[in-house]
């Protein structure tokens, strides 16, 4: 099925919006004293949007953008969390402490106005 020009434009627009959302999130973490370790890191298991370091710990951050925070949060499903967790383990394996490295999984939600809401430790069972 050929890709129409309209589909290509929508795809490019979504891609650029995602990059802008990641930039918003990255700036917020950097302002709080985190160090950016990787952007869009891809392992065998999948991709992690942003990875930050602080005080020897890693923070794996999934960025979701939507018109509102609630819709953005609903876009993170169990299968995606499992892929991100597996990719994070691959990344951590290369750290000096390996899988003993302290890790956290945050969800960073960006709304249609560029507002940011971070859900720390969003993947915790609960």
Instruction: Give residue-wise pLDDT tens across range 90-106.
Output: 999 999 999 999 999 99
Domain 5-119, architecture per CATH: 3-Layer(aba) Sandwich (3.40)
104-124 burial, b at 16+ Cβ within 10 Å, e below that, comes to: bbbbbbbbeeeeeebbeebbe
Cβ pair 48, 60 in contact under 8 A: yes
User: How much is the pLDDT for 7?
Assistant: 72
* Three-state helix/strand/coil letters over 11-28: HHHHHHHHHHHHHHHHHH
Q: How many CB atoms lie within 10 A of CB 72?
A: 21
C-alpha span between 19 and 17 (Å, rounded) = 5
pLDDT < 50: residue spans in the chain: 126
Backbone angles phi, psi at 49, to 5 degrees: -60, -60
User: How much is the pLDDT for 2?
Assistant: 61
């Amino acid at each position: 099925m050929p890709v129409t020009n309209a589909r290509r434009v929508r795809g490019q627009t979504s891609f650029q919006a995602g990059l802008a959302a990641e930039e918003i999130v990255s700036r917020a973490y950097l302002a709080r004293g985190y160090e950016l370790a990787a952007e869009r890191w891809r392992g065998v298991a999948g991709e992690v949007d942003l990875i930050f370091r602080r005080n020897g710990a890693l923070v794996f951050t999934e960025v979701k953008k939507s018109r509102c925070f609630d819709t953005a949060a609903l876009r993170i499903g169990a299968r995606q969390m499992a892929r991100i967790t597996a990719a994070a383990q691959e990344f951590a394996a290369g750290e000096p402490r390996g899988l003993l490295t302290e890790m956290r999984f945050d969800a960073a939600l960006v709304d249609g106005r560029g507002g940011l809401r971070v859900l720390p430790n969003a993947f915790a069972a609960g």
